[in-house]
Amino acid sequence: MNWLRDERVRRALLEAVTIGIVAALTIYIAARAQAAGGLDLAFMQDRAGFGVGDQVLTDVSGRDSRWMAYLAGLMNTLRITVFGIALSMVVGFGVGIARLSSNWLAAKLAFGYVEFVRNMPLPVFVVFCYTAVVLRLPRIQESADILGLAYFSNRSVALPWLSFSDGAMAWGALVLAGILGAWAAHRVLAAREEDTGRPSYPTRAALGILVVAVVGGYVVTGMPATWNLPEVGRFQYTGGLQMSPEFFGLLLALSLFNAAFVAEIVRGAIASVPRGEREAAAALGLSPWQQLRLVVLPQALRVMLPPLATQAQNLAKMSSIAIVVAFPDLMNVGGTIINNSGEAIPVFILMTVTYFVLNLAIAVIFVGPQWRFSWSRGRRA
């Protein structure tokens, strides 16, 4: 039974048992649902009878099918999840580092923000951000702006956005090839640096390849992208990327709420790095910023990745609170489909599978690199 002592074998067995339990539970639920009335999704091809939105990928009217309405709700959930995760990670990292700052004011402000937000119920915080922040913005005729490039009002938020023309697909293909080439170059040069001990500068090489692919591809394909700047109209903005007040309020609330938890994860991960590591870096003459960037954060990142993945999954599930501000996310649209079709069980199962796949994708994105590192390290050992 020596093979049971291998950590990789135990991990694989645990995952197999978990997958088996989930599969058995899924089969049981499907069988009960089939007995209760069937799982036929043919009704999803019928006319939706309600609209979802008029923005990119959500332009769905009542004449479209329920499938189109469902996909529009899914796209709204993905927009909230992707932008919310990005903003919350940026704010959370800043606040988490500030909590450990030697500056008394910065540390206390970060501590106050974390304690205030973490002890606030999420629905209350969403309503607060929507009513006390977004709806208090000026009218569209008196829009607040940033250098004439972005406009904010209680009607909408308009930001500069790219407008694509012929050649955009070719440019996208070149950018994708550059990303793959940068990733491959980084892996090869990093492995060479680890084996030889000589600097190979994998990050610089990867960035160079990516810049050449983006800029060179942009020029070669005839500059297929231009900035589309918003303009203020009488009753609405024209051009640019426009966000509804419901979307902006929900995004603001979820990002700030999730950032407080991310900040604590970052603070705990940084604090887990032995103090001697910083002292050794200081003895080598590194500045505090270099100590944090080159010594502390690379070690803390391995500790914080799993809880950060969990927090990102929480944000994806918390997006269902969108019904508080009447934003048509996946849960809101699914509930409307249930109301006008009467098919509750199939729609709930469909939403369950959708959220499961979404959270599984987030877990793979966050924890995948760490898992591969642990596997390769154990194999070398």
pTM of the model: 0.79
* pLDDT > 70 fraction of the chain, expressed in percent and rounded: 93
Map out the domains of the chain as residue ranges. 40-160+229-380, 164-225
CATH superfamily for domain 40-160+229-380: MetI-like (1.10.3720.10)
Task: Detail the DSSP E strand segments found in 86-147.
Answer: 144-146
Of 274, 321, 319, 323, the residue nearest 296 (C-alpha)? 274
Check whether 381 has a pLDDT greater than 70: no
User: Mind listing the pLDDT tens digit for each residue in 320-350?
Assistant: 888 888 888 899 988 888 888 888 888 888 8
Backbone phi and psi for residue 57, each to the nearest 5 degrees, phi listed first:
70, 5
Question: How much is the pLDDT for 234?
Answer: 75
Region 82-90: mean pLDDT is 93
Question: How much is the pLDDT for 370?
Answer: 55
Check whether 253 has a pLDDT greater than 90: yes
Contacts of 131 (CB under 8 A, 6+ apart): none
Under the banding of pLDDT at 50, 70 and 90, the label for residue 3 is low
| Average pLDDT over all residues of the chain | 84
Question: How much is the pLDDT for 378?
Answer: 44
Check whether 30 has a pLDDT greater than 90: no
Tokens of 193: 């640096």
Check whether 379 has a pLDDT greater than 60: no
Region 97-115: mean pLDDT is 90
User: Mind listing the pLDDT tens digit for each residue in 189-245?
Assistant: 888 888 887 888 888 888 999 999 999 888 888 888 888 888 887 778 887 788 888
Distance CA 55, CA 57 (A): 6
DSSP 57: T
Under the banding of pLDDT at 50, 70 and 90, the label for residue 169 is confident
Question: How much is the pLDDT for 111?
Answer: 93
- Cα four-point dihedral sign 323, 325, 329, 332: positive
Return the minimum-mean-pLDDT range out of 83-97, 235-249, 291-305, 359-373: 359-373
Region 284-313: mean pLDDT is 84
